[in-house]
Amino acid sequence: MNAQHPGGIGATWELGARGPREWVMRVVTLLDSAIGELNRAEHPAKCTLIQAASLLRKQIGPHAAGAASDKRGHLLAWQARKVREYVDGHIAGPMPVTELCALIQRSEAHFSRSFKRTFGESPHAFVIQRRLELAAQYMLETDRCLSDIAVRCGFTDLAHLCKQFRQATGQTPAAWRRAHPALNNDSAGAPLAGDGVLMVEV
């Protein structure tokens, strides 16, 4: 065994020189990394790793928060990707912050702070923005009526869409759609692409 191997078995020997709390936090970080690597598939070990990380966090209390983010307080890359993919995949339904916290096993307070540092806005504002972007894409690429688009994008009704859209763009959805007719005419009725979310002009 090579005790000098960076990040490998050698790193384990170095843990003996650290305090118990630092050792536990290091293990939590490793478990988080392993969970992130398993996120793309439902591996039988995933549940066990989550339980192990949870038990360790209870031992170190609030200090465990450091293992859930990078040194600047941002979400880890896999966490940000998982949250973004979940938002886009569930855009039409209700999305309370507690639901997003549960994705990466974080408290609401810590999650909200890390989320804002990562994405530059609150979870609620981020979800609204993604819904507006999707609504704009629907308006450009399909001939669906605005009330249908509103529901498909997670707004309670057309009035809710109009309010949020006007705040973001300074125009109603109908006026914005009329001002951007080219793509709409060329691809009316076309299916919406699964990726590519169009940015709303502000």
User: Would you state the pLDDT for residue 65?
Assistant: 42
**Is residue 129 in a domain?**
yes
> What pLDDT, in 10s, does the model give residues 70-123?
557 889 999 999 999 999 999 999 999 999 999 888 888 999 999 999 999 999
**Is residue 181 in a domain?**
yes
State yes or no: pLDDT of 134 exceeds 90: yes
State yes or no: pLDDT of 66 exceeds 50: no
The CA distance from 49 to 52, in Å, is: 5
**Is residue 74 in a domain?**
no
Tell me if 151 sits within 8 A of 143, measured CB to CB. Answer: no
The CA distance from 197 to 151, in Å, is: 17
Q: Considering Cα of 45, then 47, then 48, then 52, what sign does the dihedral take?
A: positive
**Is residue 162 in a domain?**
yes
Nearest Cα residue to 110 out of 73, 146, 77, 144:
73
CATH of the domain at 150: 1.10.10.60
* Spatial CB neighbours of 113, under 8 Å, sequence gap ≥ 6: 73
**Is residue 145 in a domain?**
yes
**Is residue 16 in a domain?**
yes
Q: Per DSSP, what are the bridge partners of residue 75?
A: 69
Total number of domains constituting the chain: 2
Pick the residue with more confidence: 25 or 157?
Answer: 157
User: Would you state the pLDDT for residue 198?
Assistant: 45
Report residue 85 CA to chain centroid gap.
6
- Range scoring the smallest mean pLDDT among 15-19, 44-48, 142-146: 15-19
Which domain, by its residues, includes 54? Answer: 1-68
Report residue 62 CA to chain centroid gap.
23
State yes or no: pLDDT of 19 exceeds 90: no
The CA distance from 138 to 196, in Å, is: 12
Q: What is the average pLDDT score of the chain?
A: 74
**Is residue 77 in a domain?**
no
Place of tokens 């890390």: 114
User: Would you state the pLDDT for residue 45?
Assistant: 66
The CA distance from 77 to 39, in Å, is: 12
**Is residue 85 in a domain?**
no
